[in-house]
Structure 1
Amino acid sequence: MLAYLARRIVLALPIMLGVALVCFALVHLAPGDPLVSILPPDASAELQAQLRQLYGFDRSYPEQFAAWLWRALHGDLGVSIATNRPVVGEVLKAVVNTLRLAVVATLIGFALGGLFGFVAGYFRRTFIDRLASMLSVLGVSVPHYWLGMVLVIVFSSQLMWLPATGAGPGGSDDWAWDGAHLQYLLLPALTMSVIPMGIIARTVRALVSELLDQEFVVGLRAKGLTSFGIFRHVVKNAAPTALAVMGLQLGYLLGGSILIETVFSWPGTGFLLNSAIFQRDLPLLQGTILVLAMFFVLLNLLVDVLQTLLDPRIARG
């Protein structure tokens, strides 16, 4: 187990380096001047040269990448061009807000998706199977930004049950897990949970349906095992694959959704990325993308380890 874990960590290191390189390249290949948001229209050439030297834009791309990567390894992602504040503080604050949203969306999506999938797979070719499958397909197909706007119209504008935007009565700085703050969290969490719910439901349904046709289930029935006992064995065999899908979906949720967080004005990583793109704030943009990508790589590593604990055959393979 330790050897497998060490091998996975070693394999993750070049992936992280490649992610950092791709992140830097994509951000700098985008058209536009990164200093346009802070330079006055009549800025002199001398002022432009001073600012480019200050932010390191006067050096070649390899030199900029090496300097940025070295600072990032020491926890320094630079200074935001738009706000003149450290990028690390801005990103960490947004990540915390997205984590709050992702945790609630994860609980909703995983619980409903797993329930629909197991029920549909266990009651194959019945009305329950068709209903659960229809709900999962609908969840994957409906545009989540459109669903978010519909929920705002229904529950905020018409019924006035829940607030439409924001992250709490006093913003996200004084967040508490109470009813007043959870009201702001409910609509974006429901919207964000729809897609992973549909994907997980379809995956679990296919797994359960396939497992029920295997010979070991026939043998368990022949031995007189109860339906609940068979269900436990099916869940245990379906868990590694379902866990891998859930881990990927959690990574997407941690990455946030630019459209969902923009619709609800939720101050998370998606909203921060949206602001950085429109302001052409390169340090903030590449810092946010790097942190989210590292989250995704580390989450996949964690899922691989958990899969090995559930199914030792993976490590032996």
Structure 2
Amino acid sequence: MIPFLLRRVVWMLPTLLGVSVVVFVTVKLIPGDPVAAMAGPGATPEAVADLKARLALDSPAHEQYFAWLGHAVTGDLGESITHHQETRPLVWDAFVNTAVLTGLAALFAAILGVGLGVLGAVRPRGLIGRLCSATAVTAVSAPQYSVALVFMTYLALRTGWFPVSGMHSVGETGIADLLHHAFLPALTASLVCAGVLARMCRATLLDTMSEDFVEALRARGLPERRVVAHALHNTVPSLLTVAGLQLGYLVGGVVFVETVFSWPGIGLLVYQSISTRDLPVIQAGVLLTAVALVVANLLVDAARALLDPRLRKA
């Protein structure tokens, strides 16, 4: 297991290096002059040149990249122009809020996806199975931004069952209040991943249920629910593979959801920073999110290797 993890970590390094290049180039391609936007409309050319020198933006692009990468590796992510404070604690606090929302969304996706997939596989030609399959297709097809607006309109504004925005009510800091605020955003972000997992779970479980060992379990007189449980256990490695591929989409969906529900996460912070051309915050936010995705995929690979020893030789 240790050699397997070491190989994966070694492969992570060029991936992270490539991510840093993409982040740097993407930020450079943002339209407009960020220095002029930071300096303000009334700034003199001398003030703009001074700000460029202070941000080290007057040097060649490759020198800027290596300087930024060197500081990022040591944990120095610069200073936010808009917030007038260090970028690292600002981005980290927002990232923790995003991690909370993403974790709840992943939990909802797993519960809904596996539940719909199992029901669809146990009764594939029955009414329940067809409804589950239709629900999974609808979840995959529905745009998350539109779903967020529908949920906000009918489940928050009209009924008052859930808060419209934010992470906590005024004066509240408890877990119950946090979960109350996070329910609609997490449910919205989870729908597409839940639909994909449901379809994959249904297809894989149907194939597994037709194998010889399942017939042997039935011949021994095991109850059908235990037979399904054994078959479902054999589908877990495949589901983990799909879950790992869906992590990127889940985080991308959370970014849109944070904007709609005003959840104070990394997506909302980067969105606001793009409007103000706050380059250090944009670079730090996108880089931290990309690193988290790479690490999360490493953990998924490790979980798959624990469940299927054959993968450790890959």
Using structure 2 for the length normalisation, give the TM-score: 0.94
Rounded Cα–Cα distance in structure 2 between residues aligned with 1:255 and 1:158? 28
User: Could you tell me which residue of structure 2 aligns to residue 177 of structure 1?
Assistant: 175
Conservation of the 8 A alpha-carbon contact between 1:98 and 1:256: no
- Matched with 1:45 is 45
Deviations 1:272-296 (A, max 9, x none): 1211222222211111110000011
1:186 corresponding residue in structure 2: 183
Q: In 1, distance between residues paired with 2:161 and 2:236?
A: 38
1:96 and 1:254 map into 2 onto residues whose CA distance is 13
Structure 2 contact 205–235 (Cα < 8 Å) conserved: yes
Paired residue for 2:306? Answer: 309
Show CA shifts across 1:151-201 (max 9, x none): 221122222222211111238xx74302x3332222212211211111111
User: Of residues 275, 288, 293 in structure 2, which corresponds to 1:291?
Assistant: 288
d(CA) in 2 for partners of 1:76, 1:252? 28
* 1:4–1:181 CA distance, 2 compared to 1 (3 A): closer
**Which residue in the other structure is 2:238 paired with?**
241
Percent identical: 39
- Aligned residue number for residue 232 of structure 1: 229
Deviations 1:119-155 (A, max 9, x none): 1112222222111011111111111111111122112
Following TM superposition, by how much is the alpha carbon of 1:62 offset from its aligned partner in structure 2, in angstroms? 0.8
SS at match of 2:302: helix
Task: Give the match's secondary structure for 2:175.
Answer: coil
Q: What does residue range 35-184 of structure 1 map to in structure 2 within 5 Å?
A: 35-170=35-170, 175-178=173-176, 180-184=177-181
Q: Which runs of 5+ in 2 are unaligned?
A: none
Are 1:255 and 1:269, in contact at CA under 8 Å, matched by a contact in 2? no
Aligned-partner Cα distance in 2 for 1:225–1:157 = 49
Number of equivalenced pairs: 314
Q: Secondary structure at the match of 2:34?
A: coil
State the alpha-carbon separation in 1 of the partners of residues 138 and 11 from structure 2.
Answer: 37
- Distance of 2:229 and 2:255 partners within structure 1: 39
Q: CA deviation at 1:223?
A: 4.2
Aligned residues of 1:77 and 1:287 also touching (Cα < 8 A): yes
CA contact (8 A) 2:140 2:191 kept: yes
Q: Residue 247 of structure 1: CA displacement? A: 3.1
Q: Secondary structure at the match of 2:59?
A: coil
Q: Does the 8 Å contact 1:102/1:256 carry over to 2? A: no
- Measure, in 2, the Cα distance between the counterparts of 1:239 and 1:79: 44
Q: How does 1:204-219 map to 2 (within 5 A)?
A: 204-219=201-216
The question of whether the paired residues in 1 share the 8 Å contact of 2:80 and 2:87 is answered with: yes
One-letter code of the match for 1:5? L
Q: Could you state the TM-score of these two structures normalised by the residue count of structure 1?
A: 0.93
- Unaligned stretches of 5+ residues in structure 1: none
What CA deviation, in whole Å up to 9, does each residue of 1:70-94 have, x standing for no partner? Answer: 1111111111222222221121111
Whole-Å separation in 2 of the counterparts to 1:316 and 1:156: 51
Verify the 8 A CA contact 1:203 1:242 in the aligned structure 2. Answer: yes
